[in-house]
Amino acid sequence: MELEPIIVPIEENDSEIQQQEDDIESDGYDQVFQSTEFCRWRKNAPYLYNMLFYELLECPSPTVQWLDQHTVKGDLKCDYYRLIIGTQGGRTPTDSRNELIVVEMRLPMLEYDFSKQPDQGFDELTGEHGGYEMGIRGSMHPYAPMYHVGDVNKSRAMPQNTFKIASFSSINDIFLFDYSKHPSKLNPDGKCRPQAILRGHTDEGFALSWHPMQQGLLLSGAQDGKMCVWNLEKMPNSSTTTTTTAHNGIECNTIIDPVEIIDSQRKLVDAIQWHPSHPAVFGAAAASGTLLITDLRASSGTAALIDPLLSSTSSSTSASKTLQFRVKVHAADCNCLAFHPANEYAVLTGSDDATIALWDMRNLSKEIRRFEQRHRDGVLEVAWSPIAPTVFASSSADRHVLVWDIKSKDGVIFDHKGHDARIPDISWHPTRPMIASVAEDSSFQIWEANIVENLINSI
C-alpha cells in the first residue's frame, strides 16, 4: 500500500517565527538554538510527531542505545525504559571526569492529543510551553551513573546480558561495566571502577559490536587500524589480575588482552559489526571509503569460540583469517555500516561523501542502490529498523536524521530536524517505531514520527 507523504505548510516569515519563539517560556532550547531551520522545525513539531522528548544534557553524548528493560510501575499512563548515554569533554571546564550513564525514561503510553489550545500553562507530562506545543516530553533521571576516565566515545550493551556494557574511551582502553554492581549515585571519591579493562589498542576508537549469538564475544576497531576480538565470558590465560590505582583515577583488578588482533591495513576503523546470522563473519567501515568483510573460521584465536555456532557444512579448513573482502565503496572515508537483520546478504554503508549505499555481499562490484543528494554532509551512522525490513535511518554531520524506505522512489520518508549540530549516534527502539538521537550541541531526543509509524504499521 502506497502512503502519500504528509506535507506540513511551513511559513517563510522569519519575523513571525521569531515572534512565536519570543512568546515561549524558555526551557533551555530557546537560549541555545537560534537557527531559522530549528525554529521552523520546532513550530511544526506538534503536527509531525506522535511522541517527542527533548533534553539538553550537561555535556554532549556521542553515544546512545536503548536497553531491553521495559517496566510498568503502577502508572497507567506511562512506560519506563532505559538507555545508555555518556559524556564527552567532562562535566565542566575544570572537571575532566566523564560519565557513562544508564538513564531511565518515563514516557507516556498513549498518543498525545494535540487538539488542546495553546497557552494552557506548563504540563509536566507533556512538556507544553504556552504559545505552541512541543509534544510529549516525559522525564528522565540517571539510574546508574558511573565515572569514566576519558571521553565516552562509544558504548554498547551485551545483548545476552544488558547489565554489561563495553565503553570505548578516548584514552585507548575499553572499559567493561556491570551497572547492576554500581550504586544509583556517583561515588563521592570520583574514581572510575570498571569491572574490567580491555587493553590492546594504541589509539582511541569508536567501533564496538557484541556477538549476537555467542555471549561475551566483543569486537572493537580503532584509529590505529586494528580490529580486536575479546572473549569476556571466560577470561583468556593472558589476562592479568593486578589492582590498578594509577594517577588517572581508575581502580580495577582485571586487565584483559584480546584473543586476536587483525590488521585492517587501513589508517582507521570507524565502525564494526558482527553479521547477525553468520557467526564467523563481521564487517568494518574504514578509511579511504573501504568496506572490510572478514571470516574468522580458520582463525587460531577465535575458531574455538565460534565453532559450536557453525554448522558442519559451514566449517572450512581452507578459510583464512585474512580479510576476505576489501572493497572501495565510497569516494571518502567509510564511517558506518549496518547488516540487515533478516536478509543475510544486504548491508548498508555511509560515508563522508554524504552518500549511503546498499550492497549485496554476493557481488560487491556494484551497489544495489546509492542514496545521495539528501544529506549535505558526511553520514555518521546508519541503522535498520528492527521491526520494518525496508526501513532504515541515518544521521549526519548536516544536523539531520533521515528515515528511509528502500521501496520508496524518493527514498526519504521523514526528515528529523530537531538538532543543531552533528549527530554521531542514533538508536531504534527494539519494538516501537521510536528513535533516540544525540548531537554535539548536547541535545538528546526521543521521537516517533507520525508518517514513520503509519508506514511501519501498514507493513
Select from 167, 194, 192, 168 the least CA-distant residue to 181: 194
pLDDT of res. 20:
40
Phi, psi of 441 (to 5 degrees): -85, 10
Q: Residue 23: is its pLDDT beyond 90?
A: no
pLDDT at 116 over 60: no
Find the range with the poorest average confidence among 214-228, 257-271, 280-294, 306-320: 306-320
Number of domains in the chain: 1
Looking at this protein, which amino acid is placed at residue 417?
A: K
Domain contains 276: no
pLDDT band at 138 (very low <50, low <70, confident <90, very high): confident
Q: What's the CA gap between 404 and 410, in Å, rounded?
A: 9
Q: Cα(114)–Cα(401) distance, rounded to whole angstroms?
A: 24
pLDDT, tens digit (0-9, with 9 covering 90-100), for 403-457: 999 999 889 999 999 999 999 999 999 999 999 999 999 999 999 999 999 999 8
Instruction: Tell me what the mean pLDDT of segment 272-277 comes to.
Output: 96
Q: Residue 304: pLDDT above 80?
A: no
pLDDT score, position 300: 61
For residue 212, is pLDDT > 80?
Answer: yes
Average pLDDT over residues 338-361: 97
Place 136 in a pLDDT band, splitting at 50, 70 and 90: low
Question: What pLDDT was estimated at residue 13?
Answer: 44
Would you state the pLDDT for residue 223?
96
Quick check: 432 and 449 in contact, CB under 8 A? no
Q: How would residue 42 be classed by pLDDT, with cut points 50, 70 and 90?
A: confident
72 belongs to a structural domain? yes
CATH code for the domain in which residue 65 is found: 2.130.10.10
- State yes or no: pLDDT of 18 exceeds 50: no
Better-scored residue on pLDDT, 34 or 26: 34
Per the domain annotation, does 35 fall within a domain?
A: no
User: Which value, in Å, is the radius of gyration of the alpha carbons in the chain?
Assistant: 22
On average, the pLDDT of the chain sits at 83
Mean pLDDT of 308-327: 61
Instruction: Tell me whether residue 309 is in a domain.
Output: no
Q: Give dist(CA 261, CA 254) in Å, integer.
A: 19
Q: Structural domain of residue 208, as residue ranges?
A: 61-112+134-236+243-263
Give ∠ CA 73-100-402 in degrees, rounded to 5: 80
Query: pLDDT-based confidence at 44, cuts 50/70/90?
Result: confident
pTM: 0.85
Residue 169 belongs to some domain of the structure: yes
User: What is the four-CA torsion angle of 457, 72, 166, 155, rounded to 10 degrees?
Assistant: 50
pLDDT in tens, 154-191: 999 999 999 999 999 999 999 999 999 999 999 889 89
What's the pLDDT at 311?
65
Structural domain includes residue 140: yes
Q: What are phi and psi of 209, to 5 degrees?
A: -155, 125
Q: Is residue 199, in this structure, part of any structural domain at all?
A: yes
Per-residue pLDDT, averaged over 300-314, amounts to 69
> Does the pLDDT at position 124 exceed 60?
no
Q: What percent of the chain has pLDDT over 70?
A: 76
Asked if residue 139 is part of any domain, the answer here is yes
Pairing verdict, β 255-256 and 196-198: parallel
